[in-house]
Amino acid sequence: MSDSPEALSVIAARVGAALRARGETVAVTESSAGGLVSAALLAIPGASAYFLGGAVVYSRRAGRGLLGLTAEDMVGLRGETEPYAQLVAGKARDIHRASWGIAESGAAGPVGSPYGDPAGRVCLAVVGAFVALETVMTGETDRAMNMDLFARHLLALFERTLNPPAT
């Protein structure tokens, strides 16, 4: 299994504090995490200062209805890829006029995706002043565990993007 970030609530608290300190906002698109990222960010008191909205986009219909995805947007793309995660993170950011859009798209399990991706694989994207993309393989087939891990990995990537190491 890949290294697991800290508890979701711990990462979310630091992300929320960083966004408040910077006067920035976020919008979230989730798929296999099922809303856990949004819930973690919203559980922090004062979330209205930085959280503008989120959507669980679990189907093409949801993508059209919640993000306005078109057939043209999807040319050459499929879900569960870094370019797709970047697209939907950008759409969320633009729709909500947020500083940042973050997204995940993966296969929580217990079996792989219709695209042939194994359970436990997720693609992550952060779109804002910088773009950060990452693919994580948890090595797990447990659905609930992967949902939690996907959410933690997305918030950990967002935190690293907000607070890059000093060089």
Average pLDDT, the chain: 95
The SS3 call for residue 127 is strand
Are β-strands 131-137 and 100-107 bridged in parallel, bridged antiparallel, or unpaired?
unpaired
Q: How far is CA 93 from CA 6, 8, 25, 134, in A?
A: 26, 22, 9, 18
> How do residues 62-96 score in pLDDT, each as one tens digit?
999 999 999 999 999 999 999 999 999 999 999 99
Torsion of CA 43, 148, 114, 56, to 10 degrees: 0
Torsion of CA 145, 128, 56, 91, to 10 degrees: -150
pLDDT at 2 over 80: no
φ and ψ of 141, to 5 deg:
-115, -10
pLDDT at 1 over 80: no
- The whole-angstrom separation of Cα 163 and Cα 67 is 28
The CATH number covering residue 115 comes to 3.90.950.20
Q: Is residue 167 part of a domain?
A: no
The letter for the amino acid at 19 is: L
> How do residues 33-66 score in pLDDT, each as one tens digit?
999 999 999 999 999 999 999 999 999 999 999 9
Sign of CA dihedral 83, 60, 93, 33: negative
Q: Is residue 3 part of a domain?
A: no
Q: Is residue 1 part of a domain?
A: no
How many domains does the chain fold into?
1
The model's pTM is 0.96
Residue-number span of the structural domain to which 62 is assigned: 8-138+148-162
pLDDT value, residue 164: 82
DSSP one-letter code for 157:
H
> How do residues 85-132 score in pLDDT, each as one tens digit?
999 999 999 999 999 999 999 999 999 999 899 999 999 999 999 999
